[in-house]
Structure 1
Amino acid sequence: MVVNNMIVSMVAHANQSSMNIYHVGSSSTNPVVLRNIQDYGVRYFAKNPWINNDGKPVIVGNIKMMSNMDSFHRYMTIRYLLPLKGLQIVNAALCQYFRGTYHDLRRKINFAFRLIELYRPYMFFKGIFDDKNAENLRKAVAESGIETDVFYFDPNCINWEDYFMNTHLPGLVKYVFK
């Protein structure tokens, strides 16, 4: 879709010096909704369990959604980092008796922080992209007789559920969750 939009816009503006911005994807026309992404993740991993290092499936459920990064850090500190610090102290007092447990929990918490940093720009973003220029370009292409089925870039055809369930999440599992 993006490439089709680029090709059509280059042809449409070949002899012009003006610059237009065309947005294709999640926009005011067909926005992807964060709570739906959460639902897709829960459903995907319930159907296709991710197996941890111990060979056990990771149990998934709805996650607590934070409104900003400060609330996330506050939640993680109270819920996970302070108990982990307590475990570290107890572990030191007991001659590293809980060493494996401590390292496993620390690894999982660090993994959660890496995921949050990866998705941070998207998690708390409140904007909606205006795709009026792309819509006007689509209309102009349709009126001009250009083969619209060859250069199709209408975001209404994006099935976000299909994309997340069959492309994005399987890709995450294959290339990120190593």
Structure 2
Amino acid sequence: MIAEMDADSVAGYFRSKSILITGSTGFLGKVLVEKILRVQPDVKKLFLLIRAPDVESAKLRIQTEVTGREIFRVLKENHGAGFDNFIEEKICPSVGNIMKENFGLDNSQLKEFSKDIDIIINGAATTNFFERYDVAFDTNVLGAKHVCAFAKNCPKLKMLLHVSTAYVAGEKEGLISEKPFLMGETLRVGTYLDIESELNLINKTKRELIANRSTDKVVRKAMKELGLKRARHFGWANTYVFTKAMGEMLLEHLHEGCPMVIIRPSIITSTLKDPFPGWMEGIRSQKLNICLLLTKVYNHM
């Protein structure tokens, strides 16, 4: 009964709200979009931030990578012939990139975009455990910083919700209390993490690789190895959780005046029953098991 009341209160809270969602084309993102539209059809607008050259391209990505997926089957059945009109009314494709300051928008675009946003859900991330350090840093660290800066310019904002991961806490056992990361905090005693220095290291390494006329393959390999080396130096298992922890640090440091919640889900697998049992996209379960195994192998090398 309590769970049902909580679910009802959350759904009620979304009524007449305009919500900006980043990462909507991802596995978790499209589940979130479908859920909101199904349980709260009176949501005002869902602004989906999409990397695309123009609005029409962004709209096409949403149609093919979000609303066109099997997870929307029940919603389509519920609305029947009116499904496309419902989606058109509720979803607003918004061209932008969290890796860029101000999402790559000019001042007039930014002002127009920010004025109606009530809630921001930042789910955009690269979740590859062994991603290139530069790519993971741009998305998971600078992306969080840029979303926070945008949130502070939204006059109607009621909440910024940032999706992190439980594994920022490291490989620990037992009950682990939830607490925010402070700037410079690491998982290894005797080390101090300077985020600006990490960015400088990335840029310096890339400049040296380019000066040596390294191939794309060599650069990619070097960036992956650098990410793992830095993560393990500070006590994290892989580049993904390391950069997500840095993203949390920046949010905690910069969010003053902006209501914020950070959630740390663990491994996300298939749907239990809603909108129907067993939905999963791709072969994520096998990939996750392989990545976890590889992490253990790397950490014991």
TM-score normalized with structure 1 length: 0.28
Identify which of structures 1 and 2 has the higher relative contact order when contacts are C-alpha pairs closer than 8 Å and 6+ apart: 1
For the pair shown, the structure with the greater C-alpha radius of gyration is: 1
Structure (1 or 2) with the greater strand fraction: 2
Structure (1 or 2) with the greater helix fraction: 1
